[in-house]
Structure 1
Amino acid sequence: MGSVADAPNGKRPRISDVARRAGVSPTTVSHALSGARAVNAETRDRVVRAAVELGYVPDRLASGLRRQRTSLIGFIGDHVATTPFAGQMIAGARTAGLDQDALMVVAETDGDPSQEHTLIDRLLAQRVDGLLIARMFHQQISRPTMPSTVPIVLVDAAPEAGWHVDAIIPDEAQIAILACDFLLRAGHRQIAYAGTSDLSRAARARLIGVRMALGDAGVHLSPQRIVSVDSDAAGGREAGARILSRAHPPTAVICFNDQIAMGVMQAAARIGLRVPHDLSVIGVDDLRPVADALDPGLTTIALPHAAMGRWGMERLLARINGELDSPPGHLERMPGWLVERGSVTPPADR
């Protein structure tokens, strides 16, 4: 590895020093190291070798000023960073940004709209090239007050009507159908749904998916087998108590999320029901380490948080770089996948 001492007069190596050693022009060095233009493979190797030998590091600030770019991307979440499964969105976006030499600045609002407005202003003051706006769970969000020229992509969120912006969300219907199909294949026909009282897009779409999948299989989901509770373990205990205390209790319960599923399992244990022998339970989220630590482990549908973060960053950078012919407004739906553990088994009477 070279050093400052390898450059003329012991100064920090410049692009002209690399060009001289590689026997090419400074413009060729710039193209070879940035990937901005096609360069012969042999020439690129010679330039890279010269840069390594001299210890040359490109001046990103100067490059950014020439391109009127900073290579900074702002990421604004509500409770994303503090939620284990949702935090994977940050990891996915961060690695996708680094793949293209973009650095991501993460900020959290704690769900406060006024704080979001302040953070947007501060990030724009730092001249970020674009913004990723994310939510801990799939919901619709309003358009923030900001210049329309700033590229934006929504992650785990959909725009309000009339706001044309690229966005990615989980395929909620597919996720619910996947959970239902797994229970149906196991032989369950007496199935209940423990949903959330939140009035979110995720809540509506998952219930639609459950009704669709069970209806297609000829399984009637009666109103008595649908409950709406808070989206936590306490809500799950309430849901379990209500569902399991009724005449002709179900053999399986689909839960809106893993927290509710945990509460349902606790409610079953309180009345002497064994999971999965007496009651099968399936959740959504793959909330680790909770889903792993339960006994039995919770079978669940994992949400594609990391993949959504990666898609969001790649889409945003493509917008910034002018690589997309279509105008903003594309809504991408990404499927979940089954994580099978030990909370589902065929019903005892099968």
Structure 2
Amino acid sequence: MPRKHVGIRDVAAAAGVSVTTVSHVLNDTPHTRTSDETKSRVREAATRLGYQPNRLARGLRTQASGMVGLLTEEIATTPHAGRIILGAQEEASRHNLTLAIINSRLRSEPDVEPTEVQAFLDRQADGIIYATVYHDEVVLPEHMHAVPSVLIGARDRDGEVPSIMPDERAGAASVVDLLVRTGHRRIAFAATSVDVPATRGRLLGYRDGMLAAGLDPDANVVEAESEAAGGYEATMALLDHGRSPEDRPTAVFCYNDRMAMGAYRAAAELGLSIPADVSIVGFDDQAPIPASLYPALSTVALPHYEMGAWAVRTLAGLIEGSGEPDAASAVATLLPCPIVERGSIAPPAR
């Protein structure tokens, strides 16, 4: 029978430490806070199991290429990708790093394709950034731990790789707070049932804001498709449900800007003026939608540029040995999602 391949995860399990710690010890990563006792335990486990380190990976630790890889899960074909890539590129330039990009296909399962990671390792990348569209957790291939790695828009299921995500829950709560301060009490949410982290975060944020204002978080929530047609359907249900003007919502907060497009159409068909009769707010600040609507749509901006820059900055620190991945990996770093106020919000007329 062929001998079972011993990987870095096997060494980590035998030594009772994280994969990241094993990588630091076996690659002699400088400036880490690993104790001598832990180092000894890791090396003993590696020897006992017969672990053979990847020679290419070891070379990467001692012979920097000045190149980092950005592996994207179809974000390069989405409207948001440009800002992530721009933030990453400009931050890479500040650190004298070259950014290489591979655009991967969208997967139904939250994992990273090993062959795409290997493509960066074969080109001697000093580090790897993985950016995903929907998944809140991903499974990383073992050899991705051969070099420092960072995640954008996802968490490492094993909690060993630093990650950055937008704080969509707080962003949604801030919308409700703004509407309440503007005078609104009947605030509806045009939600979606698509089971992704953004759906959960934005609904929770809406509920947080409503409860903080002493308002019923369930009275005016309608789910629909997360496109313009769904926004139209949800808004028609919210504003024209046999309600008198005194009971009708005075503000509709939409799950995203595409739904807000449909909300504008629904308001027009009902003879309602925006924002005099109803205020409408979106989420994503997805160009060119907000500026193309009339009046221009108030919305919440996702910090795509900032996430790209954070990822490269964090990765650069890990490559240089000045970062502390173990402390940063257990919980994703959350970046604020600011409200961009335009012309679609006004005090209620009633």
What TM-score range do you get, normalising by the shorter chain? 0.7 to 0.9
> Are residues 1:91 and 2:92 paired?
no
Which letter maps to 1:91? Answer: L
SS across alignment from 2:277: coil
Q: Where does residue 154 of structure 2 map in the other structure?
A: 157
Higher strand share: 1
> Are residues 1:74 and 2:69 paired?
yes
Q: Where does residue 174 of structure 1 map in the other structure?
A: 170
> Are residues 1:272 and 2:271 paired?
yes
1:146-225 alignment, distance < 5 Å: 146-147=142-143, 148-160=145-157, 162-223=158-219, 225=220
Which letter maps to 2:333? Answer: E
The whole-number CA distance in structure 2 between the counterparts of 1:310 and 1:318 is: 12
The whole-number CA distance in structure 1 between the counterparts of 2:274 and 2:113 is: 43
> Are residues 1:118 and 2:119 paired?
no
Please report how far the alpha carbon of residue 258 of structure 1 lies from its aligned counterpart in structure 2 after TM superposition: 0.9
Which letter maps to 1:324? Answer: G
> Cα distance 1:315–1:334, how it changes in 2: closer, same or farther (>3 A)?
same
Which letter maps to 2:94? Answer: D
Q: Where does residue 133 of structure 1 map in the other structure?
A: 130
Q: Where does residue 340 of structure 1 map in the other structure?
A: 341
Please report how far the alpha carbon of residue 228 of structure 1 lies from its aligned counterpart in structure 2 after TM superposition: 2.0
Q: Where does residue 18 of structure 2 map in the other structure?
A: none
Alignment deviations for residues 110-129 of structure 1 (CA, whole Å, 9 cap, x no partner): 31369844322222221211
SS across alignment from 1:194: strand
> Cα distance 1:155–1:65, how it changes in 2: closer, same or farther (>3 A)?
closer
The whole-number CA distance in structure 1 between the counterparts of 2:64 and 2:318 is: 13
Q: State percent identity of aligned pairs.
A: 37
SS across alignment from 2:282: strand
Alignment deviations for residues 183-229 of structure 1 (CA, whole Å, 9 cap, x no partner): 11110001111122221222112211111111111111234x11222
CA contact (8 A) 1:173 1:205 kept: yes
> Cα distance 1:99–1:347, how it changes in 2: closer, same or farther (>3 A)?
same
> Cα distance 1:277–1:66, how it changes in 2: closer, same or farther (>3 A)?
closer
Which letter maps to 1:230? Answer: E
Please report how far the alpha carbon of residue 293 of structure 1 lies from its aligned counterpart in structure 2 after TM superposition: 0.9
> Cα distance 1:122–1:222, how it changes in 2: closer, same or farther (>3 A)?
same
Which letter maps to 1:210? Answer: Y
SS across alignment from 1:284: coil
CA contact (8 A) 1:143 1:163 kept: no
SS across alignment from 1:231: coil
Q: Where does residue 290 of structure 1 map in the other structure?
A: 289
Structure 2 length-normalised TM: 0.76
Structure 2 unmatched runs, 5+: 1-58
Please report how far the alpha carbon of residue 82 of structure 1 lies from its aligned counterpart in structure 2 after TM superposition: 2.2
> Cα distance 1:184–1:65, how it changes in 2: closer, same or farther (>3 A)?
closer
CA contact (8 A) 2:318 2:325 kept: no
Which letter maps to 1:101? Answer: N
The whole-number CA distance in structure 2 between the counterparts of 1:115 and 1:155 is: 13
CA contact (8 A) 1:117 1:145 kept: yes
CA contact (8 A) 2:76 2:103 kept: yes
SS across alignment from 1:87: helix
Q: Where does residue 257 of structure 2 map in the other structure?
A: 258
CA contact (8 A) 1:85 1:286 kept: no
CA contact (8 A) 2:88 2:309 kept: yes
Q: Where does residue 331 of structure 1 map in the other structure?
A: 332
Greater radius of gyration (CA): 1
- How many aligned positions are there? 283
> Cα distance 1:176–1:65, how it changes in 2: closer, same or farther (>3 A)?
closer
SS across alignment from 1:336: coil
> Cα distance 1:311–1:197, how it changes in 2: closer, same or farther (>3 A)?
same
Q: Where does residue 34 of structure 1 map in the other structure?
A: none
